[in-house]
C-alpha cells in the first residue's frame, strides 16, 4: 500500500492528475480537506465500492439523493450550506488518518491533494507517513487567475457541474486584484516548495503546461505515458488510468473589460509566468 500526496492549489489541472491514479488498486479522494464538503459523498462512493463492495444499485440510489448538484439552488444558497458544514470544525489530521488506515487495512493505495490552506489541519511532520510526493503547479499565472475567477462566479469548478445555473455575474479584470493573487500565490508556493524540498522519498514536479499543452501530449494515452515516465524516473511504481476520464473546460480568456486587461498586459510590469525547479 502506498500513499501519494499531491501538493498543489486551485486551477492547476490537479483534478486530472488525481484521477490519473484512479485504478482498481488505488483510491483517489482528491482534496481530503475540501472546501466543498458536499463532495464527500462521491469520495466515499469509491471507498464503498472498491473496498466494501456495496451493491451499485444502493450506491446509485444514495448518490441520486446526496449528489452535490442537488444542493445547488444558487451560488449564495450553496455557499451557505457549505459554510454551515465547515463551521462545525469537521476537519483535523485524523480526517486523513481515517482514510489512510482504511486503505492500508485493505491494501489499497491512497492519493490525495493538499492545498496551502489545508496545511493548518496537519502537523509539521505529516509528510513522514507519505510514500510518494508530487508538486503540481501552473506556469501561466494569468490563465490560472482567470480560471479561478470564472469558477468563483459560476460555482462551476469541474465539468460535471456545468448544468448549474450561472448567476451571470461579469468576470472583470482588476489589475490590483491580479497582483494580490500573484503575491499570495507566490507565498503559498514557497510553503509547498519548502515541504517538497525536505521530502526525501520518490517525488517530482509537474506543471499543467507539461501535461496538457506540450505538443507531444495530445491524447490521453500520450499524457499518461508522459506521467508514467515521470514516475519511473522518480522511483514510483503505480498503475495509471488510461481512460478518458476528464473533460477540459473552455478557458479562453474573455474579461468583460478586455480593453483594461489588454492595457495592463501591454503597459504594466506584471508577472505573467511561474517556474518551479
Q: What is the pLDDT along the chain (277 residues), one digit of tens a residue?
A: 999 999 999 999 999 999 999 999 999 999 999 999 999 998 899 899 999 999 999 999 999 999 998 999 888 899 999 999 999 999 999 999 999 999 999 999 999 999 999 999 999 999 999 999 999 999 999 999 999 998 888 777 766 675 665 556 788 999 999 999 999 999 999 999 999 999 999 999 999 999 988 767 778 888 999 999 999 999 999 999 977 766 565 668 999 999 999 999 888 789 999 999 8
Pair 38, 70: CB distance under 8 Å: no
Domain-embedded: residue 198? yes
User: Which residue in 114, 101, 119, 118 sits closest to 47, CA to CA?
Assistant: 101
What one-character DSSP code corresponds to residue 205? E
Domain-embedded: residue 39? no
Pair 151, 36: CB distance under 8 Å: no
When divided into structural domains, the chain yields a total of 1
Q: Rounded CA gap, 48 and 87, in Å?
A: 27
Using left for φ > 0, alpha for ψ between -120 and 50, and beta otherwise, residue 235 falls in: left
Give CA separation, 175 vs 48, 252, 269, in Å.
46, 18, 11
pTM over 0.85: yes
Domain-embedded: residue 134? yes
Q: Which domain holds residue 104?
A: 3-33+91-267
Q: Rounded CA gap, 206 and 136, in Å?
A: 5
Q: Rounded CA gap, 20 and 22, in Å?
A: 6
Chain Cα centroid distance, residue 115: 8
**Coil/strand/helix, residue 61:** helix
Domain-embedded: residue 72? no
CATH number at residue 169: 3.40.50
Pair 216, 246: CB distance under 8 Å: no
Amino acid at each position: 500500500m502506498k500513499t501519494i500526496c499531491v501538493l498543489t492549489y486551485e486551477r492547476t489541472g490537479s483534478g486530472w492528475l488525481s484521477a490519473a491514479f484512479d485504478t482498481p488498486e488505488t483510491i483517489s479522494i482528491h482534496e481530503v480537506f475540501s472546501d466543498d464538503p458536499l463532495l464527500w459523498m462521491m469520495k466515499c462512493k469509491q471507498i464503498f465500492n472498491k473496498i466494501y463492495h456495496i451493491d451499485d444499485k444502493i450506491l446509485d440510489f444514495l448518490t441520486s439523493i446526496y449528489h452535490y448538484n442537488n444542493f445547488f439552488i444558487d451560488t449564495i444558497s450553496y455557499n451557505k450550506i457549505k459554510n454551515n458544514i465547515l463551521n462545525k470544525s469537521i476537519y483535523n489530521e485524523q480526517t486523513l488518518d481515517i482514510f489512510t488506515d482504511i486503505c492500508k487495512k485493505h491494501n489499497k493505495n491512497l492519493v490525495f491533494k493538499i492545498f496551502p490552506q489545508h496545511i493548518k489541519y496537519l502537523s509539521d511532520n505529516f509528510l513522514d507517513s507519505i510514500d510518494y510526493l508530487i508538486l503540481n503547479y501552473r506556469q501561466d499565472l494569468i490563465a490560472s487567475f482567470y480560471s479561478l475567477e470564472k469558477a468563483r462566479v459560476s460555482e462551476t469548478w469541474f465539468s460535471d457541474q456545468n448544468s448549474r445555473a450561472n448567476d451571470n455575474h461579469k468576470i472583470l479584470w482588476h489589475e490590483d486584484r491580479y497582483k494580490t493573487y500573484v503575491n499570495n500565490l507566490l507565498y503559498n508556493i514557497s510553503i509547498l516548495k519548502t515541504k517538497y524540498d525536505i521530502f526525501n522519498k520518490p517525488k517530482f514536479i509537474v506543471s499543467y503546461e507539461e501535461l496538457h499543452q506540450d505538443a507531444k501530449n495530445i491524447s490521453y494515452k500520450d499524457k499518461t505515458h508522459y506521467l508514467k515516465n515521470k514516475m519511473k524516473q522518480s522511483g514510483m511504481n503505480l498503475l495509471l488510468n488510461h481512460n478518458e476520464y476528464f473533460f477540459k473546460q473552455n478557458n479562453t480568456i474573455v474579461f468583460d473589460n478586455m480593453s483594461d486587461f489588454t492595457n495592463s498586459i501591454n503597459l504594466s510590469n506584471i508577472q505573467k509566468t511561474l517556474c518551479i525547479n
